[in-house]
Amino acid sequence: MSAMPERPTPQQYVARLVVEAGARTAGHDAPAVGAQAVERLLALVEAASVPGRGTEYSAPLRLASGLLADLLLQRDPGPGEHRPVTWPRFRRKGVLVLGPHGAVRATRLANGLVGEEPPRPDQVVVLGLPLDEALADVWSGHVWQGENRTWGGMVSSLAARDRIPPRADAASIAARWSRIVGKDRVHLVTRPGTTPGITRAPFRVVHPPVTAAAIELVRATSSTLGILTDSATQTRVLEGVLRPLLEGDAGPRPRVQPELVPWLERRAAGVARRAAAGGYALHGDPADLAPGGTGSVTWPGSADAQAATLAVAVRTLLAICEETP
């Protein structure tokens, strides 16, 4: 009876992925990665250690995310000078954008709304996303802020308590701000794209996709950073160094577990009913808030999802090694 083939070490497994990824980028479907970057990363992988034990994918992923955390810290720009914000009287007003983290960030950038939010807004824009996409955006936002939450764990916990995050409940946000600034100053927008009638220039709403594997990589890397450094540095390197590297990364989105879809649809219908009866400006259709079902990854943490996350990790590590002089 022949002996079973020996299982590769995490270093060998990741090294093979590095070589394969370097070869793929030599084609026409991705920017080419230089041989020096591949060699540099292979040397780092060979010297890396992996604490603890794990599955075929979890141990290599721990190696890759730990290596990524080290490289991010080496690129830490350091704390910038913090200046307290003082608002001149004529600039205290403006447009306040509210909703899930990623959509708010992308929409503010698309409309040149940089800096601090206005303390006394004269227009409030609430971003309403299909509820499954809103939940994925909220999960992504928590992970970017350093919280170690899995997608499946977050959704299961919400369903067990029969609640949705405040940022995902567009109708509740709009109702609250209607009481603060008046219904005539509140706009609930349910569709991405250009929306007239909010500001003098057409207002552009952006719903950035949430890639399950990329956010899982952020979660794994953030967990390691939380051990290696303080929370301020952790946030700074995630936002300032890792986020630009993952911008535009494409891949399957998170999907709510099949057994929780009835709960999701019921909660989305409630948000849509309240949005339709809110009395504020509604740009779009309350039906847009129903789950879109665009995701396919039900539980980032499974073997398939870990393999996809490891692929994103290798691409990101190669990009860093390519930029390293």
Sign of CA dihedral 56, 9, 64, 226: positive
C-alpha atoms less than 13 angstroms from C-alpha of 36 in its C-beta half-sphere? 6
Query: Does residue 90 have a pLDDT over 60?
Result: no
The enclosing H or E element of 195 equals strand 193-195
For range 130-157, the mean pLDDT: 95
- Integer Cα distance of 227 and 273 in angstroms: 45
Identify the pLDDT of residue 89. Answer: 45
Q: pLDDT by residue (tens digit) across 192-214?
A: 999 998 988 899 999 999 999 99
Q: What is the pLDDT of residues 20-40, one digit of tens each?
A: 888 875 544 555 667 888 999
- pLDDT grade, residue 78 (50/70/90)? confident
Q: Return the percentage of the chain with pLDDT > 90, whole number.
A: 69
Q: pLDDT-based confidence at 87, cuts 50/70/90? A: very low
pLDDT at position 118: 83
What is the arithmetic mean of pLDDT over 13-21?
91
pLDDT above 80 (res 301): no
Is the predicted pLDDT of residue 325 greater than 80, yes or no?
no
For residue 35, what pLDDT is reported?
A: 85
Among candidate residues 320, 324, 325, the one with its CA nearest the CA of residue 69: 320
The CA distance from 99 to 32, in Å, is 38
pLDDT of residue 51: 65
Is the model's pLDDT at 82 over the cut of 90?
no
